[in-house]
Structures are given as structure tokens and as C-alpha cells.
């Protein structure tokens, strides 16, 4: 006679399979969003943001635009893929709600991610409708680009948290901020705050590189020193300074989290953060030396996203409450 598992064992196996599926799906949604984010950077770098005119969500007032241009195709493809990640965000919430009980952090993180996808879409729509796109040199354009970067980072934090919380092997059953030591909170959050400032300045700096191209480093320095230098050019010097400070902060703080809250997640995230920080700082020098070619800009943006995700996971490790093993009877 064939033995069968107990109802409890069968339920656990079903729950584990469901959570594993949700975890894989969450990772896929994260990767899809990374692709859309980098493509959005390509839209900005190529000045294609006005490819669909000042219409949103339609393109030139049409569902399927009749006119064709490179800028239109670049912008339209970004809008289509952005719409797809909205649907993926909805599906992620459904997957997490079906796989995890009420109160599990995976549920809250998936809802947070869906909310940030909506915020991203609204900010993108506002930028288009307000015509803060392409080669617009206004200060409002810079503010909008900086805010868009902040919302992008928060979206990545939500998705990264969802991925970690759906991995039962990591045992993250809750995220608790209250009751943690002040030193732990500073070590976990200061790198995120630093990168948020540096990233916003970097987005504005990249916009300045698009608007005010130069053909040599000497020409760039001369433009920086000019009395009538545009705002985006005058701000350019601050990005490498702030980036260097942020790298120092990142090299100090994540190892502290790893020491105070030792776990496989803390170790992995801390080491990834240090690696990506060094790579990102080096890419910044390369980008500066090569006068910001588009491929290097895209790599710089992608690495910044990975660095932000690593720091998010450091924070999750700092505030995670591990699953407690059942007591033996």
C-alpha cells in the first residue's frame, strides 16, 4: 500500500510551491522594470521624449500613430513597455495575495510596488503634458527629472523588497523598524539617503550633458567657468563630489549592518553594495573622460539601479524579523 503524506505536509508543500512561483514571478517583474527604466534613460539621452508630441497617454493624439520617425518609435516603445509593467504590477499583487497570508510583508511590498508603478506613470505623463522633454532647458525640466529618478528608486526598492520577502528560504516574516537601535537605523538608511541625493543630481547632470554637449574636456571646463553658464552646467561639478562622499558612506555603513544583524541576506547585500559602489564610481570617471557617450550613460544608470537595489536589501536585512523554528514537543 502506497503511503501518502499528512494533510499538514501536503499543505506545506503546496504553500512552498506557490511561494516559489511568486518569488520567480517577482524577480521577472523586477527585471522587466529594469529594462524599462534603462530604456527610459535612452529616451532622455537621445532627446526622444517629445517623439509623441505633448500628448499622453496617446501618441500624437492617436492610439496607433500614422507618422513615423525614430524619435516617435523610441518614445512609443517606452510607453508600450511602461504599460506592460503596469499589468505585471497588478499580476504581482494577485500572486502575492494568493501565496502569502494577510500581514506578510510580501503582500505589502507588492502593493507598494504597484503604487509606485502608478506614480511613475503619472510623473511621466506630467513631464510630457508640461512639455518638459527633449531639449527643454528650463529648471522645471531638471526638477522633474530629479523627481522621476526618486520615484524610480522607490519603485525598485518596492520590487526588491517583494523579491526578498517571497523567498521563504530567507525567512523574512516581518519588517520591524521600531525597537531597532539608532546606530542600526543610521547604518541602514544613510546610504540610501546619500544615493538618493547623488542619483537625483546625476539625473540632472545627465540632462545637462544632453542639452550642452562639448567636444573636449577643456571645452567642458571652459563652459563650467563661464559667467553665463546655464544652471545645469553650474551644477555639474557637484555630482562627482557628492558621489565620492556617497561611496565613502557606502563603504562604511553596510558592513556595520552585516555585523549588527548577521545573516546570509546581510552578507550578500553588503558585499554587492560595496562592489557596485566601486564599479559605479569608476564608470562615473569613464563617463566624464569620454564626454558622456550614450552607451556609457546607460551602463552608468543600470549600475546605479543595481547599487540602489543592493542598499535596499541591506536595509531589509537590518529590519527583518527572521522566521522562528517551531519548538519541539
Considering the domain boundaries, does residue 227 fall inside one? yes
79 Cβ neighbours under 8 A, 6+ residues apart: 52, 57, 59
Tell me, yes or no, whether 200 and 160 share the same domain.
no
Based on the fold, state whether residues 96 and 210 are members of the same structural domain: no
The sign of the torsion formed by the CA atoms of 51, 53, 57, 58 equals negative
Whether residues 124 and 244 share a domain: the answer is: no
**Both 126 and 197 in a single domain?**
no
Confidence at 17, pLDDT banded by 50, 70, 90: low
Assess whether 94 and 29 both reside in one domain.
yes
Report pLDDT for 95. 96
Question: Taking a C-beta distance cutoff of 8 angstroms, is the pair 19, 100 a contact?
Answer: yes
In the chain the beta strands, taken as DSSP E runs, fall at 172-175, 320-322
Confidence at residue 318, expressed as pLDDT on a 0 to 100 scale = 96
- Residue pair 103/121 in contact (Cβ under 8 Å)? The answer is no
CB 79 within 8 A of CB 135: no
pLDDT at 188: 97
271 lies in some domain: yes
CB 123 within 8 A of CB 47: no
3-state class (DSSP) for residue 146: helix
| Count of domains for the chain | 2
| DSSP tag of 59 | B
Q: Are 210 and 45 in contact (CB under 8 A)?
A: yes
Distance CA(93)–CA(234), nearest Å, equals 43
Residues 58 and 112 in one domain: yes
pLDDT of residue 328: 43
- Which residues neighbour 43 within 8 Å (Cβ) at sequence distance 6 or greater? 49, 51, 74, 75, 78
Q: Which residue has the cell 511602461?
A: 82
Alpha-carbon span 282 to 301, nearest angstrom: 13
Among the candidates 170, 202, 234, a domain finishes at 170
- Whether residues 124 and 220 share a domain: the answer is no
| The most confident of 10-19, 204-213, 223-232, 311-320, by mean pLDDT | 311-320
Q: Residue 262: give the domain boundaries.
A: 173-329
Q: Tell me, yes or no, whether 153 and 201 share the same domain.
A: no
- Out of 35-44, 118-127, 148-157, 230-239, which region has the weakest mean confidence (pLDDT)? 230-239
Mean pLDDT of 147-162: 97
User: Among 127-131, 164-168, 193-197, 218-222, which is the least confidently predicted range?
Assistant: 218-222
Domain boundary among 144, 170, 196: 170
Q: Supply the pLDDT for residue 219.
A: 82
pLDDT for residue 267: 96
| In the predicted structure, residue 326 carries a pLDDT above the cut 80 | no
Distances (CA, A) of 194 to 137, 150, 174, 180, 256: 26, 12, 26, 21, 16
Amino acid at each position: 500500500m502506497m503511503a501518502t503524506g499528512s494533510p499538514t505536509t501536503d499543505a506545506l508543500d503546496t504553500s512552498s510551491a506557490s511561494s516559489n512561483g511568486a518569488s520567480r514571478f517577482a524577480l521577472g517583474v523586477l527585471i522587466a522594470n529594469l529594462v524599462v527604466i534603462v530604456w527610459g534613460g535612452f529616451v532622455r539621452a537621445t532627446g526622444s521624449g517629445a517623439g509623441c508630441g505633448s500628448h499622453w497617454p496617446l501618441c500624437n493624439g492617436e492610439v496607433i500613430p500614422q507618422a513615423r520617425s525614430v524619435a516617435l518609435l523610441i518614445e512609443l516603445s517606452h510607453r508600450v513597455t511602461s504599460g506592460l509593467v503596469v499589468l505585471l504590477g497588478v499580476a504581482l499583487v494577485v500572486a502575492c495575495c494568493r501565496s502569502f497570508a494577510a500581514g506578510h510583508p510580501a503582500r505589502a511590498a507588492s502593493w507598494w510596488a504597484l503604487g509606485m508603478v502608478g506614480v511613475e506613470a503619472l510623473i511621466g505623463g506630467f513631464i510630457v503634458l508640461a512639455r518638459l522633454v527633449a531639449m527643454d532647458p528650463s529648471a522645471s525640466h531638471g526638477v522633474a527629472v530629479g523627481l522621476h529618478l526618486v520615484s524610480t528608486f522607490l519603485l525598485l526598492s518596492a520590487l526588491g523588497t517583494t523579491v526578498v520577502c517571497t523567498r521563504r528560504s530567507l525567512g523574512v516574516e516581518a519588517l520591524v523598524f521600531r525597537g531597532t537601535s539608532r546606530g542600526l537605523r543610521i547604518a541602514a538608511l544613510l546610504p540610501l539617503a546619500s544615493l538618493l541625493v547623488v542619483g537625483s543630481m546625476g539625473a540632472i547632470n545627465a540632462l545637462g550633458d544632453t542639452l550642452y554637449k562639448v567636444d573636449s574636456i577643456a571645452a567642458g571646463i571652459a563652459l563650467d567657468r563661464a559667467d553665463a553658464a546655464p544652471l545645469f552646467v553650474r551644477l555639474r561639478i557637484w555630482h562627482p563630489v557628492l558621489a565620492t562622499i556617497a561611496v565613502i558612506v557606502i563603504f562604511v555603513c553596510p558592513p556595520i549592518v552585516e555585523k549588527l544583524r548577521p545573516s546570509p541576506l546581510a552578507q550578500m547585500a553588503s558585499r554587492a553594495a560595496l562592489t557596485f559602489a566601486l564599479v559605479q564610481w569608476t564608470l562615473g570617471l569613464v563617463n566624464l573622460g569620454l564626454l558622456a557617450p550614450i552607451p556609457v550613460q546607460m551602463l552608468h544608470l543600470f549600475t546605479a539601479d543595481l547599487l540602489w537595489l543592493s542598499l535596499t536589501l541591506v536595509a531589509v536585512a537590518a529590519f527583518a524579523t527572521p522566521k522562528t523554528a517551531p519548538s519541539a514537543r
